[in-house]
Structures are given as C-alpha cells and as structure tokens.
C-alpha cells in the first residue's frame, strides 16, 4: 500500500492561521504589531523568492515585514552596521539575514551580531545553547517544522529509532537534538549520518523515522528505507525536471508508511515556524 502523504502545505496553513489569531489577541491586549526585518544581500534569485514568500506570509498573519535590500558589493562593516541599527530599533522584533551572503562577508560574524532576543532563525550561539539544554527561547524553523509535522500526524517518537541524514547547523544537528531531548516530543533513539558514515543503507534501513537533509537530488532510494517507515524529505534541489527532494519520492512512497513530498512538505512549515518565532520575539521584547 502506498504511503500516507504528510501534507506540509496544509499543516503550514493551519499553523499560520493559529499564529494570525495569536497575533490578533496579542495586539488587542496592547502588544505592538510584531515586526520582522528581512535583510537580503545581493541578487540570488532563490533568496529573493524565499524572502518574498516570507514577507507575504508575515503580512497574511498580521505581522509587519520590512525588507532591507543591499547590493552584492556590500561590505561586512556595512552589513554589521545595519544589523546593529535593527538590534536597537524597538519597532523591530525579529531579524532575518537571508543566507547565503556574498563571499566577502563572514556569515558567522553577521549571525552572531544579531541580538539573541531578535534571532528568529535561532542561529545565535546563546539560543542554540538554550535549545541544547532543553529550555529553548526559539526553535530553529526547519527542524521545528519537521517536528510539528511528526507530532501533529501522531508519528510515534518516544523510543523510536530516528535516523537523521545530514549534520548541518541549520537542519541536521538541531533536528537530532530536538528528537533526543527528554520529555514530550522527544525520547527518540537518534542516529546522525553524514558523508563519512559507513554502510549508510544499512543504517537508514533501521530507521522508524528517517529525516533527510543532504542536498542531493533523489539520493534516498527505496532500498534504503524500512517498510512502513516515516520518511521526511527536507531537501530542495533545482533540477531540469523541476524542484525535487533528497528522496526518490515515486519509489520510496511504495515502501514507506508515511512520506513528506517536495514541494509541499517541509518548505511551507519552515515559513510557518518563522512567523511563530516572530510572535515569540515580540512577546519577549514586551516582557523585557
């Protein structure tokens, strides 16, 4: 029997509606309209689309969005100066620096400069540390979106063998941490794989839940998946055939129990969780 499709687009719409309702309540009770400042450096077409989608989603949820568009020749000092101004602007609650940045700019230095209370991507070491210690201020948007997709479809996590394929700071590493935490939504037995993992198919076949974030088009084949497993595809790869994930969807859906598609899976959830973090940031700054 083919797998159940985990519809990230539909869930994202639901979460966005929930956030919109919470924003309304927050504003009605005297809170400032939450505001996200997006910083886009250069003219990478993919980044432009991402930022536009994020801005539209903000507006639909009643969140203000401001775009700072800088040229590809921007220096690190100029960008740091803008980040500093946004950090100090009381009308801005969340700051999003769209990656990648042009090569003359050290990404880590810029991300570290975003004040932790406005760090809606959860990239700042202080926020990553809080997440690791299971007392999060924000959760990183993509892993948080995957987590919601699993939880709201009642995918068993506690005690499950979860394999995370990929160990980036943005997706794989925080994903593994969220699922291994003690308590509700966690308690999984997590294995993290990467390009140096030996006998990869053997490891992935042990997964009850397989989460793939490697950036290799259709890399995960049916032979790498345990029958009945839940497969989450984080990958976004632009190919001649269009947008595809890291999983060979057509073949794997015949083996898996549940599978998330690309597009319409994790991508929309990432944006929904960014809205949630922007509201959280506005709340935090109201309290401080």
- Please give the residue ranges that form the binding site for ligand NDP (CB under 6 A): 142, 165-168, 170-172, 193-197, 213-216, 234-237, 266-267, 270
Nearest to 214 by CA among 259, 273, 163, 171: 171
By beta-carbon proximity to ligand NDP, the closer residue of 240 and 287 is 240
Minimum distance of ligand NDP from residue 222's CB (angstroms): 17
User: 43 catalytic, yes or no?
Assistant: no
Omega before 263 within 30 of 0, i.e. cis: yes
By beta-carbon proximity to ligand NDP, the closer residue of 114 and 117 is 114
Minimum distance of ligand NDP from residue 142's CB (angstroms): 4
As to burial, measured by CB atoms within 10 angstroms (0-12 exposed, 13-18 middle, 19+ buried), residue 27 is middle
Sheet strands side by side (includes 94-97): 64-70, 35-41, 94-97
Distance between CA atoms of 105 and 80, rounded to whole angstroms? 10
Distance between CA atoms of 125 and 116, rounded to whole angstroms? 8
User: 69 catalytic, yes or no?
Assistant: no
Task: Copy the structure tokens of residue 127.
Answer: 């926020």
Give the C-alpha distances (Å, rounded to integers) separating 136 from 128, 196, 247: 8, 30, 30
Minimum distance of ligand NDP from residue 246's CB (angstroms): 6
State the catalytic residue, choosing from 55, 98, 226, 285. Answer: 98
3-state SS class at 233: strand
User: 198 catalytic, yes or no?
Assistant: no
Omega before 272 within 30 of 0, i.e. cis: no
Minimum distance of ligand NDP from residue 89's CB (angstroms): 27
Question: Which residue's Cβ has the minimum distance to ligand NDP?
Answer: 168
State the catalytic residue, choosing from 55, 118, 119, 121. Answer: 121
Minimum distance of ligand NDP from residue 24's CB (angstroms): 26
Side-chain half-sphere CA neighbours of 107 within 13 A:
13
Distance between CA atoms of 118 and 173, rounded to whole angstroms? 22
By beta-carbon proximity to ligand NDP, the closer residue of 103 and 135 is 103
Task: Copy the structure tokens of residue 91.
Answer: 């009308």
By beta-carbon proximity to ligand NDP, the closer residue of 28 and 199 is 199
By beta-carbon proximity to ligand NDP, the closer residue of 131 and 266 is 266
Active site residues: 54, 98, 121
């Amino acid at each position: 029997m083919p797998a159940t499709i985990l519809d990230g687009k539909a869930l994202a719409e639901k979460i966005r509606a929930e956030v919109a309702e919470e924003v309304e309540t927050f504003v009605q009770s005297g809170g400032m309209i939450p505001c996200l400042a997006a910083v886009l450096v250069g003219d990478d077409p993919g980044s432009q689309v991402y930022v536009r989608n994020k801005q539209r989603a903000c507006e639909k949820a009643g969140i203000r969005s401001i775009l700072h568009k800088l040229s590809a020749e921007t220096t690190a000092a100029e960008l740091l100066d803008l980040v500093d101004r946004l950090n100090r602007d009381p009308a801005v609650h969340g700051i999003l620096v769209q990656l990648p940045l042009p090569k003359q700019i050290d990404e880590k230095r810029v991300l570290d400069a975003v004040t932790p209370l406005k760090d809606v991507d959860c990239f700042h070491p202080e926020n990553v540390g809080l997440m690791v210690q299971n007392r999060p201020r924000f959760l990183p948007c993509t892993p948080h979106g995957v987590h919601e997709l699993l939880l709201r479809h009642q995918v068993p996590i506690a005690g499950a063998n979860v394999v995370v394929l990929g160990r980036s700071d943005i997706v794989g590493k925080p994903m593994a941490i969220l699922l291994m935490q003690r308590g509700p939504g966690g308690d999984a037995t997590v294995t993290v794989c990467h390009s140096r993992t030996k006998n990869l198919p053997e490891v992935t076949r042990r997964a009850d839940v397989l989460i793939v974030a490697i950036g290799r088009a259709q890399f995960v084949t049916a032979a790498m998946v345990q029958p009945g497993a839940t497969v989450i595809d984080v990958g976004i790869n632009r190919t001649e055939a269009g947008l595809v994930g890291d999983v060979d969807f057509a073949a794997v859906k015949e083996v898996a129990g549940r599978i998330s598609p690309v597009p319409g899976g994790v991508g929309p959830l990432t944006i929904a969780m960014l809205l949630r973090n922007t509201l959280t940031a506005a709340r935090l700054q109201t309290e401080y």
